[in-house]
């Protein structure tokens, strides 16, 4: 493309709230065949709410929630914030945790009031040798509903399963439909539970799902999607999306996301609305048409 056509395209995109940090992204976007998207904070609002909680026999729900929220108060994960908000709403006063540890992609551990408290995904429980027992079917049901199931264990015993739900952003269904109309394949990459991710993907008509991906695994997923010379755009918002944004043919960051993601991206959507991706593709097409 000529410098002039790139300038015109970049200006047109900016009017639509799409910032091209790299002028040549207008060209590379043109050849994209697959759009991969992060789930949490990209397809969804990234602000989950605690919706359900079921305790194991012998555990008091308010006490479990108080202990769990005491640990989560030290975590910055959106799931942690959902749990803390619910405990606050229920008027539960958190205690100060000791020996707090966050295990990325798994969950958190700390000692609260002398009790060891674990909160996280099923794989955290497996790692710590805690059996999911009677609560496994409940967790599976939450997943089918598109909710994320989390487990809490106290002193080595499974205490509760908690569900959090993260609403899909209003513009997302329309954006996915428009990507399909453009003949593109749509993939989802997430650290979340497989059943949860699949339920959300089904609801949105997403073609490919890669779930339970550990934070540094997103790059590998992008590499796989690129196999055979397929050009891939990746859309993400989080700190752990930065390497994938950099390794995709076109990295698209959500402007309301983290600075690290924005720095790693070629394109930034000023609002969180995914229809910005579609606008970017349209401008790219128009630019490339004009220069031929």
Give the binding site for Mg ion (CB under 5 A): 38, 40-41, 237-238
Cite the beta strand spans of 81-171 per DSSP E.
98-103, 107-112, 115-120, 148-154, 157-165
Q: Is there binding between residue 190 and ligand ADP (CB under 6 A)?
A: yes
- 15 burial type by CB count under 10 A (0-12 exposed, 13-18 middle, 19+ buried): exposed
Nearer to ligand ADP among residue 1 and residue 169 (C-beta): 169
Q: Both ends of the chain: CA-CA distance in Å?
A: 8
Nearer to ligand ADP among residue 20 and residue 234 (C-beta): 234
What is the DSSP track for 166-220? -PBPTTHHHHHHHHHHTT-EEEEE-SS-HHHHHHHHHHHT-SEEE-S--GGGHHH
Encoded tokens for 216 = 């540094």
| CB atoms closer than 10 angstroms to residue 34 | 21
8 A C-beta contact, residue 216 and residue 192: no
Q: Binds 107, which of ligand ADP, Mg ion, none (CB < 5 to 8 A, cut-off by type)?
A: ligand ADP
By CB under 6 A, name the one of 13, 36, 67, 108 that touches ligand ADP: 108
Q: Binds 79, which of ligand ADP, Mg ion, none (CB < 5 to 8 A, cut-off by type)?
A: ligand ADP
Choosing from 38, 122, 166, 241, the catalytic residue is: 38
Q: Binds 215, which of Mg ion, ligand ADP, none (CB < 5 to 8 A, cut-off by type)?
A: ligand ADP
Q: Is there binding between residue 217 and ligand ADP (CB under 6 A)?
A: no
Sheet containing 185-189: give its strands across.
18-20, 267-269, 250-254, 232-236, 34-38, 185-189, 208-210
Q: Binds 55, which of ligand ADP, Mg ion, none (CB < 5 to 8 A, cut-off by type)?
A: none
Q: Binds 237, which of Mg ion, ligand ADP, none (CB < 5 to 8 A, cut-off by type)?
A: Mg ion
- 215 burial type by CB count under 10 A (0-12 exposed, 13-18 middle, 19+ buried): middle
Closest separation in Å from C-beta 49 to ligand ADP:
14
Nearest-angstrom CA–CA distance, 233 and 226: 10
**Residue closest to Mg ion (Cβ):** 41
Nearer to ligand ADP among residue 50 and residue 283 (C-beta): 50
Closest separation in Å from C-beta 86 to Mg ion:
21
Q: Which of residues 130-169 bind ligand ADP (CB under 6 A)?
A: 148, 150
**How many amino acids of this chain bind ligand ADP (CB under 6 A)?**
20
Q: Is there binding between residue 120 and ligand ADP (CB under 6 A)?
A: yes
**90 catalytically annotated:** no
Chain-centre distance of CA 247, in angstroms? Answer: 18
Task: By CB under 6 A, name the binding residues for ligand ADP.
Answer: 39-40, 72, 75, 77, 79-80, 105-108, 119-121, 148, 150, 190-192, 215
- Which residues are catalytic, by number? 38
């Amino acid at each position: 493309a000529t410098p002039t056509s790139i300038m015109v395209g970049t200006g047109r995109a900016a009017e639509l709230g799409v910032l091209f940090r790299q002028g040549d992204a207008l060209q590379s976007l043109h050849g994209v065949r697959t759009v991969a998207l992060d789930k949490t904070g990209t397809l969804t609002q990234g602000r989950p709410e605690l919706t359900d909680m079921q305790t194991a026999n012998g555990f008091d729900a308010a006490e479990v929630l108080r202990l769990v929220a005491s640990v989560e108060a030290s975590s910055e994960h959106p799931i942690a914030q959902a749990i803390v908000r619910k405990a606050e709403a229920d008027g539960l006063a958190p205690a100060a945790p000791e020996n707090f540890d966050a295990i990325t992609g798994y969950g958190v551990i700390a000692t609260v009031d002398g009790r060891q408290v674990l909160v996280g995904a099923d794989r955290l429980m497996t790692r710590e040798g805690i059996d999911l027992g009677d609560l496994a079917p409940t967790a599976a049901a939450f997943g089918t509903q598109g909710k994320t199931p989390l487990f809490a264990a106290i002193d080595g015993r499974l205490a509760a399963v908690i569900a959090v739900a993260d609403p899909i952003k209003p513009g997302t269904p329309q954006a996915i439909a428009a990507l399909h109309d453009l003949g593109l394949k749509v993939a989802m990459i997430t650290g979340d539970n497989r059943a949860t991710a699949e339920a959300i993907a089904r609801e949105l008509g997403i073609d490919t799902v890669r779930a339970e991906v550990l934070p540094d695994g997103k790059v590998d997923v992008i590499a796989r999607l690129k196999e055979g010379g397929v050009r891939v755009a990746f859309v993400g918002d989080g700190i752990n999306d930065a390497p994938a944004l950099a390794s995709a043919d076109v990295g698209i960051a959500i402007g309301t996301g983290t600075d690290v993601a924005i720095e790693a991206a070629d394109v930034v959507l000023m609002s969180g609305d995914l229809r910005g991706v579609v606008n970017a593709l349209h401008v790219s097409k128009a630019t490339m048409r004009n220069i031929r």
